[in-house]
A and B are shown apart, each in its own frame.
Chain A
Amino acid sequence: MIKEKYYISDFCSIRDKKVFKNGEQLYIDSESDSLKDFGKGIYQYLELKYPKFHKMDELCKLGFLASEVLLRDSDKLDQDTALVLSNRSSSLDTDRKHQVSIQDREDFYPSPAVFVYTLPNIIMGEISIKNKMKSENAFFVTESFDADLMSKYSKILMDTGKATNVICGWVDLDNDKYDVFLAFLSKKGRIELTKEELNNLYNQ
């Protein structure tokens, strides 16, 4: 096992109707009054043409859009770029939708298109499909963003050769409250990967 120095090469966040990349505001939408419209706005801003996007649940859309922002103008990605994501609310946003469809046995209409999104790791599936990443995935559920866990587990993957780079972060959605932060970790960059730095960037 080789313990090397790793860096936070790029980072981005989606919160409060704004999208940031490496600390700079990329997109703002104070008009939209739904998360769905906000997501659609980002999709159009990024000039994406990806029909699968429209089938995703809102949690996956947020994670997917953040990954597109993070990886834009980047050639760093490879087949061994791992995904290590986390959140507080798992897939509860869609869990509630599925629950509504089965709450009344006289009016019972569960749908596979909803049910498949009742797992938080589906976000990583969507990002992997788009970017053809056949890599390590792990989804953790923690009370709040755990920079210590994210940096330690990502370092393990890179130290043991299980990943060359890691996209780590936080993709949370609960009752329309959302908070998304992704970081690209690799052997190149200006900001050294420490839990303090990762936490600072998350809190920016």
Chain B
Amino acid sequence: MKKVYLVADNIISPLGFSTEENVENLRLNQTGIKKVDDNYIWSEPFFGAVVNNDKLSEAWDIISKDSGYTKLEKMMLISVSKLLAENSSLDITKCGVVISTTKGNINSLRDDSYKKAYLTSISKTVQDYFKLDHTPLILSNACISGGLALAVGKRMIQSELFEDVVIIGGDLLSEFTLSGFFSFQAVSPAPCKPFCKNRTGISLGEAAASVWLSSNKKNVTEEVISISGDASANDANHISGPSRTGEGLYISITKALKDAGIESNQIDYITAHGTATPYNDEMEAIAFNRAGMKNVPINSLKGYYGHTLGASALIESIIARHCLINNELFASLGFEELGVSESINVIAKNHKKELKRVLKTASGFGGCNVALIIEKEV
């Protein structure tokens, strides 16, 4: 089966408008989560990670004078434009394009431009902007969308539909989603603390990201990193509550390991979903224990980015690639003391470590789960 390489990437987030800037901020243990006082999103101040509008406008002005795009569209278009500018051999018109988003331009529902609320409007925007002769595919699969999009891209390449695929992910921190998570009483009154005893729920975030997947090794200019395994499985248990046994996540992990042809003891690092809700983190700890991975260093990046929904697993996979390149691990921000019933090895401090294989997981509403094995050729 063809290998699928992670060739290049970009992240547009509160922690920077390039992957390098993002990685540098993670290295400094800087968080993008702040007290947000923005009446457009919420009537009272709350903790979340938002992309600064002035900074976004500046970045947008460099690539376009057209103001007829939404914030999310600008973030996605800037991300892909940067990816293309930094990789002259990438011709997006010849690539498959997959866009991962949960709510897209959902703010348009409250304004009068409701047509933009259809997710296909984003697909059309990306198609027109980059003059593609085919329509990008939209994948909307709750909080696993970004990771599942990488799996879908890998599968498209391995089935020889495309040699190269560009994955774009993005979601906004909107009143729509914030009010929903508040109604679930799932929003933390302080920056989120994944896997910690003192965790009190999620912090939401917003971001966009893009990745170039290729089957052509000649495109790889840095360390050779591929997605060597992938799988997704439903819990078949509950639409909003995680499975008590971590069933779907456990199945995803086992199948992804099998797909990569490796055993659980060959994983050097887990970049988990870790939303910091009591039940989610507990479920993940159970699944990782069932998979025999309780001693593998693990973190959640939600303490840096908040939960960026359709972008989250994509961003976390990008960071995993750079951890593999730099042989480094970042502290699981917000973590103080283990707060799950089964033992896991949460990364307390940044440190250097020789890394070869990373497990990326995500879980979401609807009982969905995904696992990816990201591997460095040494």
B367 touches A152 (CB 8 A): no
Q: Give the nearest-CB partner of A124 in chain B.
A: B366
Quick one: which of A90, A120, A133 contacts B234, CB cutoff 8 A? A133
Q: Give the nearest-CB partner of B230 in chain A.
A: A162
Give the CA-CA distance A98 to B181 in the complex, in Å: 12
A162 touches B117 (CB 8 A): no
B239 touches A137 (CB 8 A): no
Residues of B within 8 A of A125 (CB): 234, 239, 365-368
Residues of B within 8 A of A136 (CB): 231-233
Interface flag for A199 (CB, 8 Å): no
Contacting chain B: which of A5-13, A17-25, A27-35, A153-161?
A153-161
0 or 1 for each of A132-146: is its CB under 8 Å from B? (1 = yes): 111111111111000
A126 touches B233 (CB 8 A): no
0 or 1 for each of A34-67: is its CB under 8 Å from B? (1 = yes): 0000000000000000000000000000000000
Known: A90-B140, A124-B234, A125-B234. A134 touches B365 (CB 8 A): no
Quick one: which of B102, B109, B140, B233 contacts A134, CB cutoff 8 A? B233
A135 touches B234 (CB 8 A): yes
B118 touches A88 (CB 8 A): yes
Give the CA-CA distance A120 to B159 in the complex, in Å: 26
Known: A99-B109, A134-B251, A156-B159. A88 touches B120 (CB 8 A): yes
Quick one: which of A103, A115, A124 contacts B110, CB cutoff 8 A? A103
A155 touches B236 (CB 8 A): no
Interface residues of B in 131-161 (CB under 8 A from A): 135, 137-142, 148, 152, 155-156, 158-159, 161
B176 touches A99 (CB 8 A): yes
Residues of B within 8 A of A105 (CB): 43
A139 touches B367 (CB 8 A): no
Interface flag for A15 (CB, 8 Å): no
**Smallest beta-carbon distance A106→chain B, Å:** 10
Interface flag for A102 (CB, 8 Å): yes
Apart from A1-B159, A138-B139, A143-B135, what are 16 other A-B pairs with CB-CB below 8 Å?
A88-B120, A95-B106, A95-B109, A98-B179, A110-B179, A115-B180, A115-B184, A119-B102, A121-B140, A122-B366, A134-B247, A137-B234, A139-B139, A142-B120, A156-B158, A160-B159
Please name 12 pairs of A and B residues whose Cβ atoms are closer than 8 Å in the assembled complex, sorted by A: A95-B117, A96-B109, A99-B109, A99-B110, A125-B367, A128-B236, A129-B238, A136-B232, A141-B119, A152-B161, A156-B155, A160-B159
